[in-house]
């Protein structure tokens, strides 16, 4: 502030000096007095400015000191406050998934062993809840509209009677290591099956414990399942025991230039089955029986499968084959192969496929084979034609036709034809 005023004063003095000849001595004295007064005022303002700056610096230092004290007190209070749990109860919606599906089916069956053709309308509804218990465990519970192990269909009859619900799933899945799982309860099938193979019914949910793992392209599983407790023997001895199933599978997925080839080998042993009746609804479903009505053979089944997935002009193609043999039986071989073109998933997509299957009388434990092929019994062979279309999201229309023959090995052969029209929705 002082420097500009001094410059102005000097300029004024110079102008006064140049005009000194024209001014009187009195005028010059008056101007000098005014200049001196102005300089005194500048010195006073500068002193006041320095005083204000000093006071401002003191206030700033005091403010910083108070801020540090407040922050220190807040930190001490935070240290004394109890720790907040890592997972709060309010976050449960993010850890729970609700899903389900509803299927309406119109079914026509022409079974030459029956007295007449049959026409049915069937309904299947499933609802499941899956919850993340913690970072390593997932638990699930599901219900379905039928108690049959090989299907959730309930028939539309009974004069609009209420339909029952049954426990369909109840298991936990513990990831105890990278890509390694321990599963216990009533679970989804933990092993890989090829394509549209019908060696196992798609609605089977086994009960017991299982281990699954994968290392790179390799995968595997092992399981121990309970079928029946204290199953009575039909031999001369009246001992009872528990019928169980032990099995394992090893396989590999090969990447072939963007295409995918899957191969796997499986083995299962149905322990304590021979001479016993571990049956649902007391039906052997085609397996051989001894004279006393128990199973004629044990089941030690070796299974080999392959599946190849590729695309032609962006259209998905799938080809598969599977063969199985029961090491304990006479009619011991099962074989299937088929293909599927397209995939009915996104709106406007479609699929169609054809498969052949042969199941000799005791090749597989018939309680678990598909319930529609040949009417759900072994000792059958034939063809399956499928087609499907997805008109909208989460909505698929399917048509499936079975052209089969039963009693291929034992008894009088007869034809079995079935047409299924499905309206499938899921959420």
Confidence of residue 79 (pLDDT cuts 50, 70, 90): low
Do the Cβ atoms of 189 and 201 come closer than 8 Å?
A: no
The pTM of the full predicted model, rounded to 2 decimals, is 0.78
The fold of 93-426 is: Porin (2.40.160)
Whole-number Å distance between alpha carbons of 184 and 209: 4
- Residue 90's pLDDT is 64
pLDDT surpassing 80 at residue 364: yes
Over residues 324-341, the pLDDT tens digits come to: 999 999 999 999 999 999
CB atoms within 10 A of CB 300: 16
Whole-number Å distance between alpha carbons of 71 and 75: 6
Do the Cβ atoms of 382 and 404 come closer than 8 Å?
A: yes
CB atoms within 10 A of CB 125: 17
Return the domain boundaries, the chain.
2-80, 93-426
First CA to last CA distance, the chain: 79
Phi-psi region of 74 (alpha: psi -120 to 50; beta: other; left: phi over 0): alpha
Over residues 27-74, the pLDDT tens digits come to: 667 767 776 776 777 677 677 777 767 776 776 777 677 667 666 666
């Amino acid at each position: 502030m002082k420097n500009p005023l001094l410059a102005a004063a000097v300029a004024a003095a110079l102008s006064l000096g140049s005009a000194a000849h024209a001014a009187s001595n009195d005028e010059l004295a008056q101007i000098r007095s005014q200049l001196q007064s102005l300089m005194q005022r500048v010195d006073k303002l500068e002193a006041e400015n320095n005083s204000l700056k000093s006071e401002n610096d003191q206030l700033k230092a005091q403010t910083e000191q108070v801020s540090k004290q407040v922050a220190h007190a807040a930190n001490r209070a935070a240290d004394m406050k109890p720790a907040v749990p890592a997972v709060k109860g309010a976050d449960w919606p993010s850890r729970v998934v609700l899903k389900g599906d509803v299927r309406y089916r119109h079914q026509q069956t022409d079974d030459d062993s029956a007295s007449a053709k049959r026409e049915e309308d069937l309904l299947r509804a499933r609802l499941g809840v899956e919850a993340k218990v913690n970072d390593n465990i997932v638990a699930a519970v599901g219900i379905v509209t039928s108690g049959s192990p090989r299907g959730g269909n309930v028939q539309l009859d009974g004069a609009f009677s209420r339909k029952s619900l049954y426990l369909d799933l109840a298991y936990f899945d513990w990831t105890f290591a990278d890509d390694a799982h321990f599963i216990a309860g009533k679970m989804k099938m933990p092993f890989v099956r090829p394509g549209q193979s019908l060696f196992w019914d798609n609605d089977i949910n086994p009960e017991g414990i299982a281990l699954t793992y994968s290392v790179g392209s390799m995968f595997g599983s092992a399981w121990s399942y309970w079928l029946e407790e204290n199953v009575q023997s039909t031999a001369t001895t009246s001992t009872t025991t528990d019928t169980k199933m032990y099995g394992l599978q090893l396989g590999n997925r090969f990447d072939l230039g963007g295409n995918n080839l899957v191969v796997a080998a499986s083995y299962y042993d149905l322990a304590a089955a021979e001479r016993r009746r571990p049956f649902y609804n007391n039906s052997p479903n085609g397996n051989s029986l001894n004279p006393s009505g128990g199973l004629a053979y044990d089941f030690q089944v070796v299974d080999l499968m392959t599946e190849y997935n590729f695309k032609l002009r962006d259209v998905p193609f799938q080809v598969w084959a599977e063969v199985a043999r029961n090491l304990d039986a006479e009619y011991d071989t099962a074989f299937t192969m088929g293909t599927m073109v397209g995939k009915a998933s996104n709106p406007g997509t479609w699929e169609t496929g054809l498969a052949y299957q042969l199941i000799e009388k005791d090749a597989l434990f018939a309680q678990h084979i598909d319930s529609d092929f040949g009417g759900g019994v072994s000792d059958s062979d034939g063809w399956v034609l499928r087609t499907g279309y997805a008109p909208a999201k989460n909505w698929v229309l399917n048509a499936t036709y079975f052209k089969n023959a039963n009693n291929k090995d034992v008894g009088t052969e007869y034809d079995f034809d079935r047409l299924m029209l499905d309206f499938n929705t899921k959420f």
